[in-house]
Each structure stands twice: as structure tokens, then as C-alpha cells.
Amino acid sequence: MVSPDAVSAPRAPNRTATAPTTLPSAAGRTDAAGAAVTPVLAGLAAAFPPAVAQSTLWADFFAEHYRDVRSAGRIFAHAGVRQRHPAVNPLVEDVSTMGTGDRMRRYLTEALPLGRAAVTAALADAGLSVRDPGLLAVASCTGYVTPGVDIRLAAELGLPNDVQRLLIGHMGCYAALPGLAAVADFVAVHRRPAVLLCVELTSLHLQPASRDLSQVVAHALFSDAAVAAVLRPAEATRPVPGLAVVDVAATTDVATADQMTWDVTDHGFRMGLSARVPDTLAGQLPDTVATLLRRHGLTVADVAHWAVHPGGPRILDVVQERLGLADAALEPSRATLRQHGNCSSGTVLAVLQELPVRPGERTVALAFGPGLTLYAVLLRAV
């Protein structure tokens, strides 16, 4: 379970309170009096289980687990991961043969304290109390229970009984960005704060040993975390410092759906991962980003920061090459991968915490997942 010192508040940008500029936005709306309402990401926080070194995980467990896979050690060594945060630590408990029902029950046990820690810290970062949100959205592809994390967490935190809830399930690593879009629309329409929580426990889905290289790659990359984002409504007369959600774009290539899968099996959820994924994303990336930016008269050169989901080192290399970005632009994403591993949906929000943004600067968040699907969100610091 999460330890109290595992909560990470954002490395806050210079949040000088300035009136947010209302851009032509998919998320921006006006109220009945015609006043512009802009959803602003005003609070971010992450909670992680205790860290374990990648080298220790390999030497003390996975080296034996994959003793019949000659390339496994090289895959672990070149995953770009220095440490990870397994809520279910294989050095203590091998769940590779556990049934899916038992894994789901364990999911609730581990997810609630992580989610509670992240949401509590994010609300504090946004300057809000538990009585303020009108919506709690929870994104997860690693566990399912009913009543779910959304219901139980709302009760534990003391959220109002009339708080609306939204569960975003099984979308995979990109779920935070459509989640952010949905929450932003709620904030703009209802003029109330809202919370998005991404909670993922990939360690619950340790698979039985096999020669499948995609399983080796998944077990070398994935980690656990809960990351919460709080959005608040801002108006010209009532500015809110943070990151204004300006616009969202998405591309899905259903012809490549078999390249990334997340299958429910009798032994948890099993990742299917093709080596062709980076090349497919490379084809989607330039047009999707250009379309998003062109709607606002912008180009790649106008973007100060990039929060890219670190699906793996090769994915980051492809993004850097296809967009022509400098090494520094991808360093926050690479640093997140090194320090936390790939935490599925919450990872791109964790990258946002690493960005030293200043008022007026633009950020593009990118995340990828099954579909194959690419999501891009344009943010502006206000």
C-alpha cells in the first residue's frame, strides 16, 4: 500500500495569477450571460507504492522467471527504467498463477489508499476542499470491481452525495487525455471543479513465465501509480492559475488494432505488443499534431513543452525524430520513465508535473494506446 511519503506534489510553475486568454477551443464554453469559461488544470499530484530498483527486480525474480528467454536480460537492461513501484512486489509475492477474481479483489485493496492520497494532495494543490468537486472521473485499465473505486473513494473522501461520477475503463495508456477532455467539458459547462484520477496497478497482472517477448517487454516497463488532476473553471473576472485546456485531437487506426492488445485471461490481463507499434505511431504523429496546432495558428516551434507518454525508449525516439524536437524537450518524459516506469494512463500526467512552465507558454501532451490510438491535448499556462 502507499506510504505517506510517496505522495508527489507537482514541481509548480510560476503560477502568477493572470487572466486566462480564451482561445477558440473544443473545451471552452460560455455561460448564459455570454461570459467565457475556461477549464484550467489547477492541481496535480501523484502517489506511488515503494520503489524497487530495476536491477533488483531482474536479479532477484525475473532472471529466473525468464530463464528460458535469452534476450530477457538485455530487454530489462535497455528498457530505460531505473526503478519501479510495484504495489504487489514480486520479490515478496509471486502472483503469476493467481486467478483473475483474486487479482480484482486485491486491486481494490491497493487502489483505494493510492487514489485517496493522490486526490487529497491534488485538491490541496488546487486550493479546494472535498466539498468543491462536482465530478469525480476515474480512469483505469488494470482492475474492475462494483461498487467501484469511484463510489468507494467518493465516500472515503467525503465528497458530496450529489457528485457525478465517470468510470473510464480499459482504454489503456492514453486514457488520461480523453479523460481530461471529458472533465474539461464538464467544468466548462457546469462551472464547477472536477477531479480526474488515473489509478493503475500493472503489477497485479504478472503473467506465468513464457517465451513471448511481448510479455518480457511489458514486465520490463510497467509500474504502478495513482495520479490525480483537478480542473477549475476560470473567467476573465475570476482567473485561476494553472494550465488552460485549449483543445484536443485524436487519431485511431483500426487497421492496426492487433498491434497492441490488453486481453482479459484466467490469469489476469495479458499485454499483446507488436514491434511495429513505433512505426505505426510515427505515421500518425505529424498530421495529428499539425492539425491540432493549425486550428490555433501554431506550429511545433510555438510549443514550449512536450509531455509525452513514455511507452518505452523507442516510442520517445520516434516522437523526437518525427517532430524534430531537441533532446531537452523529451527529457521530462525520459526522466519519468527512469524514475517511475510506464504507469499506464497516469504517466502522461506525471510528466506534466516535471515541466517548468511559465505563464503564456504552450504545452502539448501526447499519449498512445490500443486502437492504435494517438491523443494530443493543447494546454496554455495562465
Residue 2 has pLDDT above 60, yes or no: no
Q: What is the mean pLDDT of the chain?
A: 91
First-last CA distance in the chain: 36
Q: What is the CATH number for 348?
A: 3.40.47.10
Q: pLDDT category, 6, cuts 50, 70, 90?
A: low
Residues 215 and 70 in one domain: yes
- Percent residues over pLDDT 70 in the chain: 91
Same domain, 147 and 8: yes
Same domain for 96 and 75 = yes
Together in a domain, 272 and 163: no
Domain count for the chain: 2
Q: At what angle do helices 100-125 and 149-157 cross, to 10 degrees?
A: 40
The per-residue pLDDT for range 57-70, each reduced to its tens digit, is 999 999 999 999 99
- Which residues form the domain of 327? 243-381
β-sheet bridge partners, residue 367: 375
How far is it, in rounded angstroms, from Cα 236 to Cα 242? 14
| Whether residue 256 has pLDDT greater than 60 | yes
Q: How far apart, in whole angstroms, are the C-alpha atoms of residue 363 and residue 360?
A: 10
User: Cα separation of 18 and 209, whole Å?
Assistant: 55
Is the pLDDT at 293 greater than 90? The verdict is: yes
What confidence category does residue 18 fall into, taking pLDDT thresholds of 50, 70 and 90? very low
Claim to verify: residue 229 and residue 266 sit in the same structural domain:
no
Q: How confident is the model at residue 8 (pLDDT cuts 50, 70, 90)?
A: low
Q: Say whether both 17 and 76 belong to one domain.
A: yes
* 198's grid cell: 488515473
Alpha-carbon gap, residue 310 to 256, rounded angstroms: 20
Residue 304 pLDDT > 90, yes or no?
yes
Q: Is the pLDDT of residue 7 over 80?
A: no
Residue given cell 487572466 in the structure block: 19
Cα 166 from chain centre:
16
Which among 327, 326, 332 has a CA at the least distance from the CA of 357? 332
For 70-80, give one letter per residue: b (16+ CB within 10 A) or e: eebbebbeebb
Residue 173 annotated as catalytic: yes
Same-domain check for residues 223 and 295: no
Looking at 206, 234, 262, which one is the last position of a domain? 234
Same domain, 84 and 204: yes
State the amino acid at position 234 in one-letter form: A
Q: Point out the domain boundary residue: 217, 234, 251.
A: 234
Q: Which residue is catalytic, options 141, 173, 198, 343?
A: 173
Q: Are residues 278 and 145 in the same domain?
A: no
**Residue that terminates a domain, selected from 234, 253, 284:** 234
Rounded Cα distance between 187 and 253, Å, is 30
Same-domain check for residues 194 and 223: yes
Question: pLDDT (tens digit, 9 = 90+) per residue, 321-376?
Answer: 999 999 999 999 999 999 999 999 999 999 999 999 999 999 999 999 999 999 99
Amino acid at 373: T
183: its cell numbers: 472533465
One domain, residues 225 and 345? no
Q: Are residues 227 and 262 in the same domain?
A: no
Tell me the per-residue pLDDT of 209-246, one tens digit each, with 9 for 90 and over: 999 999 999 999 999 999 999 999 998 888 999 999 99
